[in-house]
Chains A and B, each alone.
Chain A
Amino acid sequence: MGALDIAWNVRNGITSAVDIVEEHLAAIDAREGEIHAFNLVLADEARLRAAEIDEMVQKGDDPGPLAGVPVALKDNLCTRGIATTCSSKILGDWKPPYDATVVTRLRDAGAIAIGKTNLDEFAMGSSTENSAFGATRNPHDTSRVPGGSSGGSAAAVAAGFAPISLGSDTGGSIRQPAALCGTVGVKPTYGAVSRLGLIAFGSSLDQVGPFATDVADAAVTLEAISGHDPGDSTSIERAPLELRAKLEMGAAAVRVGRITDLPAGAGPDVQERLDEAFDALAAAGAEIVDVEVPAFTYGLTAYYLIAPAEASSNLARFDGVRFGSRVTAPDTNQMYMATRSDGFGAEVKRRIMLGTYALSAGYQEAYYGRAQKVRRLIANDFSAAYEQCDVLLTPTSPTVAFEVGAKTSDPLAMYLCDTYTIPSNLSGDPAMSVPFGTGADGLPVGVQVLAPALQEATMFRVAAELERSQA
C-alpha cells in the first residue's frame, strides 16, 4: 500500500497505524540482512508514535495528510536524541539536540519515522559503498549498488521497508539512486525545502527531497516538507508547494525540451527508454521541442570544484571539540589533526583536500572563481532553453545499477554517474527521476524531468503522465 492509501485508511479508522508499522517492521526483518538500508531501525519509537496516531483518530482528531505513514530518514538529517551519523566514524554516537525542520514537518503531518538510512559518508558518493557501516545493496539485485548517496533511502522504498523516505541531493544523490532502484525521487528548487538540520555538504547545492513508489506519494511528501522556514536563511519566503491539484491534467500542450547537445555517455538501453518517454508524452499531446544547453557539458567539472570547496569549509566543524569523536593528543592542534585523520573516510578526505586546494591562496581565482562563472553560464543556458519549453527530459543515470565494487577504485568513473543530474544543483532548478521501464539485465531505468525554479507543479504533471503511459 502506498503512502496516500495508508493515510486514507488510517484517517478513516479502516487500518490502524500500529498494524501498518508492524507490517513494515516485518518486511524489514525479512530482508534488511541482505539489503542493509538502515543504520538504525526505530522499532520502539515507531510503535509508540503509531499508538499515538491511532489514539488521535479514535478521539476524532486528524493526524494529517501522512497519518500513520512510515518514513525512512537519511542519516544526515538531525533527529533529536537519536544517533545521527552521516555514515561517518567521526560523529561517533552523537545525538543531535534538535530535529531537522523536515523531520518536524513530517511528524506534524502524521508520518512515523521508522529508521535512519545508510548513505555514502557525508553524502559523498554515487553508490552507498563509502559508508563507515558497510555498503547498501540494490533490492532488485543484491550484487548491484543502489546508487547514492541516498542509497539507503532509495533501497528502503524499493524493498517495501517504508512507502516513502527522505534523501538529500547535492549533485544527484536523490535522483540517481531513485533511477537505479526503480523509485520516484525529487530534488526540489533550491530554497523550497528547509536545510535546517540537514548536515551540510555543499550549502549552495544541497536540497532535501522525497523518494516514493509513485508520483502522487512523492507529491504529498514534498508538499508536507516544503515552505518557508525562518531557521534557514536561504529558504524562499513562500507557502508550501501545491502539487497534487495538477497531477491529473496530463501533458497536453506542455512543451517538452529535448537537449540536442547533451553530453554523450548514456547507454543504448537508457537512450531507448528516453526516446520512448518522448514518444509517450507526444502521444499525450505534448509538443517536443529541440533546445540547446551548451554549458550543460561543463557541469561535472564546475561541480567538482564548487562542491568540494564548500565541503572543505563545512566539514571544518568536525574537529573533536563540540560533537562526535575525539582522539586525545597533547595539544589542541594535534587533537584536531588526529581526530579528523582517524574519523573521515578516504572519499571525504579526497574531497576536503580537493576543496582546500581549490580555495587556497594563489589558486582560488583560477579554480573556484572560474567554476562559479561556469555555474552562471549553466544557469543562463537553462533560462534560455526554458524560453522555448516548459520542461526538459534527459536520462537520470547513464546506466542501470552497476556491480558492487565496479567503480570504487576509480573516483572519476564514479563521478560520471552524475553527469545528467549535477547541472540542476548548480542552477538551483528542480528535477525528478521517474521509473520508465527496464534496461540491461532487466534493471530499472529512470527518466529525468527538469523544470525552471518553483515550477514543480508542471514537472510533477509531466512525471504523472510518464507514469500513466506505462499503466
Chain B
Amino acid sequence: MPERITTADVSKVATLARLTLTDAELTSATSELDAMLDHFAELDALDLDDVEPMNNPTHLVNVMRDDVVGETLDRDEVLAAAPLAEDDRFRVPPILGLDD
C-alpha cells in the first residue's frame, strides 16, 4: 500500500479537485484522510487477485438508442439559469493569456 499521507499530498489533491483549502482546513483534511486510510487498511487482508471488479449492479455495457430527433432543453431557459450568459453562450472569465 502507498505511504501515509502528508499535507503536501493533500494540497496536491485539493488542487486536482479545484478546491482552495485554508491552512486549518489542510491540517484537518490531512488527519481525516489519514484516519480513513487506517480504516481502508482492513481490505488489505482480503485475497482479491481473482475477483472481477464490479463497477455497477447492471450487466449493461453500452446503451444505444435510435438516431431520431427528440425533445431537447429550451436554450433560453438553460442560459437563464447560468451565472453569466452572452450571445446565446455561457460567459466565463479569460482562460488564456494572463501569464504572458
Residues of chain A whose beta carbon lies under 8 Å from any beta carbon of chain B: 92, 94-98, 190-191, 203-204, 230, 233-234, 236, 298, 301-302, 304-305, 312, 316, 319-326, 328-338, 340-341, 344, 349-350, 352-354, 356-357, 360, 362-363, 366-367, 369-377, 379, 411-412, 427-429, 453
Contacts and interface: CB of A to CB of B under 8 A. Distances in A.
B17 interface: yes
Contacts of A236: 58
Nearest to B40: A301
B8 interface: no
B33 to A, nearest CB: 6
B56 A204 contact: yes
Interface in B57-100: 57-58, 60, 63, 65, 73-74, 77-78, 81-84, 90, 92-95, 98
Nearest to B51: A373
Interface string B39-63: 1101100101001111111101001
B55 A321 contact: no
A413 B36 CA distance: 12
Given A331-B94, A341-B20, 19 more contacts: A190-B57, A204-B57, A233-B63, A234-B56, A301-B42, A320-B83, A323-B81, A329-B93, A332-B95, A333-B18, A336-B18, A337-B19, A340-B18, A341-B19, A349-B21, A357-B33, A369-B53, A375-B53, A412-B36
Contacts of B20: 337-338, 341
For chain B, give the interface size range.
Answer: 35 or more
B57 A233 contact: no
Contact of B83 (A233, A304, A326, A344): A326
A59 B25 CA distance: 62
A379 B39 CA distance: 21
Given A324-B83, A335-B92, A379 B98 contact: no
B36 A332 contact: no
Nearest to A320: B83
Given A373-B48, A373-B51, A360 B83 contact: no
A53 to B, nearest CB: 25
Contacts of B13: 353, 356-357, 360
A366 B94 contact: no
B57 A323 contact: no
Nearest to A371: B43
A353 B57 contact: no
26 contacts: A94-B81, A190-B58, A204-B57, A301-B40, A316-B18, A323-B81, A326-B84, A328-B93, A331-B94, A340-B17, A350-B32, A352-B17, A353-B33, A354-B33, A357-B9, A357-B10, A362-B2, A363-B2, A373-B46, A374-B46, A376-B51, A376-B52, A377-B48, A427-B57, A428-B58, A453-B57
Contacts of B43: 298, 301-302, 370-371, 374
Among A325, A331, A366, chain B packs the most CB atoms within 10 A around the CB of: A331
A367 B53 CA distance: 12
Given A331-B93, A335-B92, A379 B10 contact: no
Contacts of A372: 53-55
Contacts of B42: 298, 301
Contacts of B93: 328-332, 334-335
B19 to A, nearest CB: 5
Among A95, A96, A236, A341, chain B packs the most CB atoms within 10 A around the CB of: A341
Contacts of B51: 373, 376-377
Nearest to B36: A354
A374 B35 contact: no
B1 A332 contact: no
Contact of B39 (A301, A337, A360, A428): A301
Given A95-B81, A97-B73, A191 B32 contact: no
Nearest to B42: A301
Contact of B58 (A191, A332, A337, A411): A191
A101 B55 CA distance: 24
Contact of A366 (B1, B17, B36, B78): B1
A340 B48 contact: no
